[in-house]
A and B are shown apart, each in its own frame.
Chain A
Amino acid sequence: MPFLSVKNLGVSFGGLKAVDGFSLEMGKDELLGLIGPNGAGKTTVFNLLTGVYAPSQGSVSFNGKIISKLRTSAINDAGIARTFQNIRLFKNLSVMDNVRIALHGSMRYSPLTGILRLREYWEQEEETDRRAVEILEVFGLSDAKDEKASSLPYGRQRKLEIARALGSSPKLLLLDEPAAGMNHSETSELMDTISFVRKKFSVAILLIEHDMQLVMGICERIVVMDYGTVIASGSPEEIKSSKVVIAAYLGE
């Protein structure tokens, strides 16, 4: 059984089929790129995978479990974490709290234990802080841990979002345009970070990206979408020379 298996996934908004008959299989340690022209339905696929939208057809199975009927938080518990195209940080909370919230599921103490500040509370909170700092260090954010998330510069906010996603110890990480708005050197740095994160946290990564430098540089396999469905898939070389893909981007 494949690690992630998406079969014939689809959703329509009114009369518009945003995603239609989307199928995908992904291995346990794969780094897969999802590309396509604007409006192809890439982000909608992410929203379907994470339960933000309920699919009107098809199924998603992940790690041997059908997840297409679960709510978003349960899908996160099952091991899928994501970032958002338009950064969605907890803006008024500290950098540390942003990651702490993602570690919520790793703590077990009850509200009463928390209020009475019993030993379990301290132990688990300290463990959480330790892990949060560890993750922040990977992204070079530990010096800013007590700052408000909204006070970070844009590039660091993007990094914090990835850090937060890793907080829930996912097995699959969905990155929605991680390099959006970054310059060339920031993108190169991000590529290194992604490769590093993949090994360090041993997660599979599925990423949406328009930046071809990044996609062609780090993805082993690329899936191309247009009009809500897969039109091509293969290695970066195959995709670069595919007629269908060139047609989708530039027209016939």
Chain B
Amino acid sequence: MEEIRKKHFRSFAINFLLLAALYAIFLASFKSGILNNYYQGLICYMLINIMLTVSLNLTTGFLGQLPLGHAGFMAVGAYASGIFTKTVLLPPAVSLALALAISSLMAFACGIAIGVPALRLKGDYLAIITLGFGEIIRNVILNLKITGGTSYRGIPQHAGFTSIFWITAACVYIISALISSRHGRAILSIREDEIAAEACGINTTFYKLFAFSLSAAAAGAAGALYASYQTVLTPASFTYNQSIEMTIMVVLGGMGSITGSIASAAVLTLLPAFLSDLAKYRMLIYSILLIVIMIFKPAGLLGSREFSMRRLIAKLRRREAN
């Protein structure tokens, strides 16, 4: 049994070192000017998308439900944090930490409020009701005074590459650690067979709500980072198209694969930027890509498998030894 703990610790150490290296490389290239501000923005945007995709995967891939309101939860978090950081003036780090807490709590609460009625429904019905929720949120924001109508400006820029990078990493860790705990297994069992899960003593209502609200909370935190980095919020950036794009990222990477979500969020954020000539056709390309994937690899690129650095290293070592 000690063996398992050791293996786990080795995995954790390898991933952490890798992350630190990645962070150092990015930071060095920003500082030295190899990557200019535009790219820094793009990378931050990519990190936020990773956070959104991984958190959406919790409900789509692991819980096995299909919600389409993730952008709504992100909007709740973004505006909550935007309004908080603009009105309550605190040192940047404190302000960002509080904003993250507030916005994820707000999104969590919305997740519970929507989840209680919505999670009684399945499949298309859940998709429709959450889609409706996202649109309601957007319209409320558009019409409230406090949210500034069509655009909310002047949010202090508290989040930078460093904070976004590490918060995204923490969020991914939390979700992947959760999945391999008893609570995560309870969530997976609901995806596999709800009736059997209940018969095994899993309170499916509770765990559905738990996974759904947790995923909403993470979207809220991503929204907070977005607001604190972008400094300007417009309701137009939280339309249902956004929710659908996140769903595409999840499906493409593999439902139930965290590493798949990370890869597909990264590729689908960076690719359009490099193929800006094709930007017009982005949604068209997405649709075609999705159809092709659904035909040839219906479970997504990685399916429910995970890419593991520790496994890869062990494999390479074995090969070398031979």
Contacts and interface: CB of A to CB of B under 8 A. Distances in A.
Contact of A122 (B5, B174, B197, B304): B5
Contact of A90 (B4, B177, B189): B189
Interface string A168-207: 1000000000000000000000000000000000000000
A91 interface: yes
A72 B201 CA distance: 7
B183 A114 contact: yes
A117 B8 contact: yes
B201 A105 contact: yes
A101 B203 CA distance: 12
B182 A164 contact: no
B193 A101 contact: no
B200 A102 contact: yes
Contacts of A93: 185, 188-189, 192
A105 B185 CA distance: 12
A77 B206 CA distance: 15
Contacts of B182: 100, 104, 107, 109, 114, 124-125, 128
A114 B188 contact: no
A115 B199 contact: no
A50 B198 CA distance: 9
A90 B192 contact: yes
B181 A111 contact: yes
Contact of A71 (B173, B186, B198): B198
A168 B200 contact: yes
Interface string A200-241: 000000000000000000000000000000000000000000
B185 A97 contact: yes
A167 B182 CA distance: 14
Contact of B198 (A73, A105, A124): A73
Interface string A77-104: 1000110100011111100010011101
Interface in B136-185: 173-174, 177-178, 181-185
Interface string A111-133: 10011110001101110110000
Contact of A88 (B185, B196, B304): B196
Interface string B183-221: 111101100110111111111110000100000000000
B312 interface: no
A246 interface: no
A81 B197 CA distance: 11
Given A50-B199, A73-B200, 17 more contacts: A72-B199, A73-B203, A76-B201, A81-B199, A89-B192, A89-B196, A93-B185, A93-B188, A97-B188, A101-B189, A101-B200, A111-B181, A111-B183, A115-B181, A116-B177, A117-B177, A129-B1
Contacts of A168: 200-201
Contacts of B188: 90, 93, 97, 101
A104 B186 contact: yes
Contacts of A72: 195, 198-199
A66 interface: no
Contact of B181 (A88, A114, A126, A167): A114
A76 B198 contact: yes
B192 A92 contact: yes
B181 A164 contact: no
Contacts of B178: 111, 114-115
16 contacts: A52-B198, A73-B198, A88-B193, A90-B192, A90-B196, A93-B189, A93-B192, A101-B186, A101-B197, A104-B185, A109-B181, A111-B210, A115-B173, A115-B178, A117-B177, A121-B181
B57 to A, nearest CB: 15
Contacts of B210: 111
Contacts of A104: 182, 185-186, 200-202
B201 to A, nearest CB: 4
Closest 6 CB pairs of A and B: A114-B181, A90-B192, A76-B201, A72-B198, A88-B196, A105-B201
A159 to B, nearest CB: 15
A84 B8 CA distance: 36
Nearest to A123: B1
Contacts of B8: 117
A90 B193 contact: yes
Contacts of A84: 195-196, 199
Contacts of B198: 51-52, 71-73, 76
A129 to B, nearest CB: 7
Nearest to B198: A72
A92 B304 contact: yes
B199 A82 contact: yes
Nearest to B192: A90
